[in-house]
Structure 1
Amino acid sequence: MLSSFFIALIGVAMIAFVAGSRRAVALAGPQISTLHSRPSYHGGYALILAAGPALILLILWLLLGGRILDMMVAARFDEVLSGLSMPQREAFMRDARQLAEGSIYGTPTPQTEAAAEVYRSLAATAEIILGIVLTMLAGAGFLLAWRTISLRKRTRQFVERTIMVVLIACSVVAILTTIGIVLSLIFESLRFFQKVPLFDFLFGLHWSPQSAFVGAGAEARTNPDVFGAVPLFAGTLLITAIAMLVAAPVGLMSAIYLSDYASKQFRAVAKPVLEVLAGIPTVVYGFFAALTVAPFIRRSGESIGLSVSSESALAAGVVMGIMIIPFVSSLSDDVINAVPQSLRDGSAGLGATKAETIRRVVMPAALPGIVSALLLAVSRAVGETMIVVMAAGLGANLTANPLEAVTTVTVQIVTLLVGDQEFDSAKTLAAFALGLVLFCVTLTLNVVALRVVQKYRERYD
Structure 2
Amino acid sequence: MILLAFIILFVAAAIGYVINIRAAQAMRDGGAPLHSLVGFHGMFSALVVLVPVFVLILAWIALADPLIQRLVAASLPEGTFDGLGTGAIQLIMAEINSLAGGRVFGTPEPWKIEAAERLVGYERTADVALVVVVTIAVIALIAFARRTVTPEFRARQGSEGIVLRLMGFCAVFAVFVTVAIVFALVYETSKFFSMVPVTEFLFGLNWEPQIPIRADQIAAEGAFGAVPVFLGTLVIATVALTVAIPVGLMTAIYLNEFASRRVRSVVKPFLEILAGVPTVVYGFFAILVVAPWLRATGASLGIDVASNTALAAGSVMGIMLIPFISSFADDALSAVPQSLRDGALALGATRSETMLNVLFPAAIPGIVGGVLLAVSRAIGETMIVVMAAGLIARMTINPLDSVTAVTVQIVTLLIGDTAFDNPKTLSAFALGMMLFIITLGINVLALRIVRKYREIYD
TM-score of the superposed pair, with normalisation by structure 2: 0.93
Instruction: Identify the match of residue 255 of structure 2 among 249, 255, 258.
Output: 258
Matched residues, number:
457
- Deviation digits for residues 190-237 of structure 1 (CA, Å, limit 9, x no counterpart): 111122221221111111123x55x9628969957x211111121111
Q: Tell me what 1:165 maps to.
A: 165
User: Which residue of structure 2 lines up, in the alignment, with residue 303 of structure 1?
Assistant: 300
Q: Which residue in the other structure is 1:37 paired with?
A: 36
* Deviates further, 252-261 or 412-421: 412-421
1:2–1:451 distance in 2 versus 1, CA, 3 Å: same
Matching of residue 380 in structure 1 with residue 377 in structure 2: yes
Q: Distance in 1 between matches of 2:101 and 2:302?
A: 59
8 A contact 1:222–1:426 mirrored in 2: no
Q: Which amino acid aligns with 2:63?
A: L
Using the TM superposition, give the Cα deviation of residue 460 of structure 1 relative to its aligned residue in structure 2, in angstroms. Answer: 5.2
Whichever residue aligns with residue 23 of structure 1, its letter is A
Indicate the residue corresponding to 1:282 in structure 2: 279
Q: Of 226, 237, 241, which residue of structure 1 is paired with 2:238?
A: 241
Aligned counterpart, 2:68: 69
Give 1:357's aligned residue. Answer: 354
SS in 2 for 1:217: coil
Corresponding residue number in structure 1 for 2:115: 115
Q: Which moved more, 1:104-113 or 1:288-297?
A: 104-113
* Alignment match, 2:363: 366
SS at match of 1:307: coil
Q: Residue 339 in 1 paired to residue 339 in 2? A: no
Task: Describe the SS at the equivalent of 1:79.
Answer: coil
How far did residue 80 of structure 1 move? 6.6
CA distance in 2 between counterparts of 1:417 and 1:297 reads 32
| Greater helix proportion | 1
Equivalent AA in structure 1 for residue 271 of structure 2: L
Report the residue type matching 1:59 in the other structure: L
> 1:53–1:137: 8 Å Cα contact kept in structure 2?
no
Alignment of 1:391-410 (within 5 A): 391-410=388-407
Q: What CA distance in whole angstroms lies between the structure 1 residues aligned with 2:31 and 2:448?
A: 58
CA shift, 1:153, in A, is 1.2
User: Which is worse superposed, 382-391 or 444-453?
Assistant: 382-391
Distance 1:255 1:145, change over 3 A: same
Residue pairs, 1:52-63, within 5 angstroms: 52-63=51-62
Q: How does 1:41-52 map to 2 (within 5 A)?
A: 41-52=40-51
> What is the letter of the counterpart of residue 397 of structure 2?
A
- CA root-mean-square deviation: 2.3
- Determine the C-alpha separation between the residues in 2 that align with 1:228 and 1:84: 33
User: In 2, are the aligned partners of 1:309 and 1:405 still within 8 Å (CA)?
Assistant: yes
> 2:318 — aligned with what?
321
After alignment, is 251-260 or 44-53 more displaced?
44-53
Paired with 1:80 and 1:48, the residues of 2 have a C-alpha distance of 50
Sort the Cα spacing of 1:340 and 1:104 in 2 relative to 1 into closer, same or farther, 3 A: farther
1:316 counterpart SS class? helix
Query: Partners of 2:259 and 2:52 in 1: how far apart?
Result: 56
CA distance in 1, matches of 2:394, 2:382: 17
Q: Distance in 2 between matches of 1:422 and 1:410?
A: 19
1:218–1:36 Cα change, 3 Å: farther
Amino acid at match of 1:263: S
What is aligned with 1:207?
207
Distance 1:264 1:154 in 2: 51
- Per-residue CA deviations over 1:295-315 (Å, capped at 9, x if unaligned) read 211222222222222222111
Matched AA of 1:426: P
Distance 2:376 2:384 in 1: 15
Native 8 Å contact 1:188 1:429 kept in 2: yes
Aligned residue in 2 for 1:132 = 132
Aligned-residue offset at 1:243: 0.8
| 2:181 paired residue number | 181
What 5-or-longer segments of structure 2 have no aligned partner? none
SS at match of 1:12: helix
User: 1:104 deviation in Å?
Assistant: 5.6
Structure-1-length-normalised TM-score = 0.92
Indicate the residue corresponding to 2:425 in structure 1. Answer: 428
DSSP 3-state at the match of 1:458: coil
Quick one: which of 201, 215, 218 aligns to 1:217? 215
Deviations 1:398-428 (A, max 9, x none): 1122211111111111121122222111111
**2-side partners of 1:425 and 1:122: how far apart?**
32
**Does 2:143 correspond to 1:143?**
yes
Aligned residue number for residue 225 of structure 2: 228
Identity between Structure 1 and Structure 2 (%):
49
Structure 1: how far apart are the matches of 2:341 and 2:384? 41
CA contact (8 A) 1:53 1:138 kept: no
Deviation at 1:140, TM superposition (A): 1.9
* 2:193 aligned residue: 193
Alpha-carbon offset, residue 105 of structure 1: 5.5
8 Å Cα contact 2:77-2:111 kept in structure 1: no
Report the AA paired with residue 38 of structure 1: L
Distance 2:410 2:81 in 1: 35
Aligned partners of 2:341 and 2:359 also within 8 Å: yes
Structure 1 runs of 4+ aligned residues shifted over 6 Å read 218-222
Deviation at 1:154, TM superposition (A): 2.0
Contact 2:5 2:130 in 1 (8 A): no
Residue 363 of structure 2: SS of its match in structure 1? Answer: helix
Structure 1: runs of 5+ lacking an equivalent? none
Whether the aligned pair in 1 keeps the contact of 2:87 and 2:420 (CA below 8 Å) is: no
| Whole-Å separation in 1 of the counterparts to 2:291 and 2:351 | 40
Residues 1:365 and 1:188: Cα distance change in structure 2 (over 3 Å): same
> 2-side partners of 1:264 and 1:418: how far apart?
49
Change (3 A) 1:243 1:302: same
